[in-house]
């Protein structure tokens, strides 16, 4: 039984990797850089699609995107979510006003992705992912700025860490309308962990909604994200905003109390491009 189970998992990972490679936007693909480019996007630079990979036989029934329409590139990679610095929680660890996050609705949930040592097929791609990440950052780096912060700015080689973030709260466009933003929930009963956050939440209930994200610290995940860059106060900042997460391998069980995060789900391949 063990051998059969292992073979099934290995084949599943092979299939997932082939799908990611065919997308053209897998960070572990040596040809990634020819498919994307940086462009100004408001006050920041964003990564856009340059060209799509050629369709495969499986894509005959899929409508091709319009090449005349600019589209943000949604990159993907496979990482293990680290236990350390894990803040994909219901209040992102916000404990009060700071210069960067003066209000609870400014806080972003964050996590660190590291090399997936328990999945060899994706571990082999990790050095390529690191090289691509460094090259992407270099392409939009500000001349003469040495300080870099964010996405792939910590560690070297296999010890490189990828930082991901998620916008926890979305502002509604009309006061009091509870059905404006798909995939969000109202803030009644939304858990927070400090008096400061509780007070902020009371003032947010009319104009903000929460955007839940399913995730596990310690899990091996397929991470999809959009990459942006900004230069501010003498440093380059690279932000990887999570688009969706698919859990490939859950974390080992623990007896420790869990934070108030939302449980992840195992979704079939057909649904894994959906925002969760």
CA separation for the pair 229, 236 (Å, rounded): 7
Distances (CA, A) of 1 to 47, 65, 201, 252: 45, 44, 50, 20
Q: Please answer whether residues 113 and 166 qualify as being in contact, where contact means their C-beta atoms are separated by less than 8 angstroms.
A: no
| Whole-structure pTM value | 0.83
How many other CB atoms are there within 10 angstroms of residue 160's CB atom? 20
Which of the following CATH numbers is that of domain 9-49+71-173+182-249: 1.10.8, 1.20.120, 2.40.50, 1.10.10? Answer: 2.40.50
pLDDT in tens, the chain (276 residues): 445 556 888 999 999 999 999 999 999 999 999 999 999 999 999 999 998 877 765 555 444 556 667 899 999 999 999 998 899 999 999 999 998 899 999 999 999 999 999 999 999 999 999 999 999 999 999 998 888 889 998 888 778 999 999 999 998 865 555 555 667 888 988 999 999 999 999 999 888 999 988 878 899 999 999 999 999 888 999 999 999 999 999 998 766 555 555 444 333 333 333 333
Closest CA to 6 of 125, 129, 130, 118: 118
Closest CA to 239 of 105, 28, 44, 25: 44
Cα–chain center distance at 271: 17
Closest CA to 87 of 259, 247, 270, 271: 259
Closest CA to 103 of 179, 43, 41, 192: 192
For residue 88, with 0-12 CB atoms within 10 Å meaning exposed, 13-18 middle and 19 or more buried, which class applies? buried
- Give Cβ neighbours of residue 137 (< 8 Å, ≥ 6 apart): 148, 151, 152, 153, 229, 236, 238
């Amino acid at each position: 039984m063990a051998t059969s189970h292992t073979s099934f998992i290995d084949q599943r990972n092979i299939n997932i990797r082939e799908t990611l490679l065919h997308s053209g936007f897998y960070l572990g693909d040596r040809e990634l850089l020819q498919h994307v480019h940086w462009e100004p996007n408001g006050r920041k630079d964003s990564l856009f699609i340059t060209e799509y990979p050629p369709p495969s036989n499986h894509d005959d029934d899929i409508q091709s995107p319009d090449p005349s329409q600019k589209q943000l590139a949604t990159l993907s990679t496979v990482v293990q979510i680290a236990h350390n610095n894990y803040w994909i929680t219901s209040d992102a660890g916000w404990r009060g006003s700071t210069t960067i996050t003066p209000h609870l609705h400014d806080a972003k949930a964050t996590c660190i992705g590291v090399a997936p040592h328990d999945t060899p097929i994706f571990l082999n791609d990790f050095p390529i992912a690191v090289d691509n990440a460094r090259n992407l950052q270099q392409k939009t780096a500000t001349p003469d700025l040495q300080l870099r912060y964010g996405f792939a700015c910590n560690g070297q080689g296999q010890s490189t860490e990828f930082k991901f973030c998620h916008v926890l709260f979305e502002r509604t466009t009309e006061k009091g309308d509870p059905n404006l933003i798909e995939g969000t929930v109202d803030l009644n009963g939304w858990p927070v962990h400090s008096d400061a956050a509780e007070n902020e939440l009371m003032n947010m209930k009319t104009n903000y909604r929460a955007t839940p994200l399913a995730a596990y610290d310690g899990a091996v995940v397929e991470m999809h994200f959009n990459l942006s860059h900004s230069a501010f106060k003498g440093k380059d900042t690279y932000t990887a905003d999570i688009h969706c997460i698919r859990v490939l391998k859950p974390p080992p069980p623990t007896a420790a109390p869990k934070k108030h995060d939302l449980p992840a789900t195992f979704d079939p391949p057909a649904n894994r491009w959906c925002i969760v």
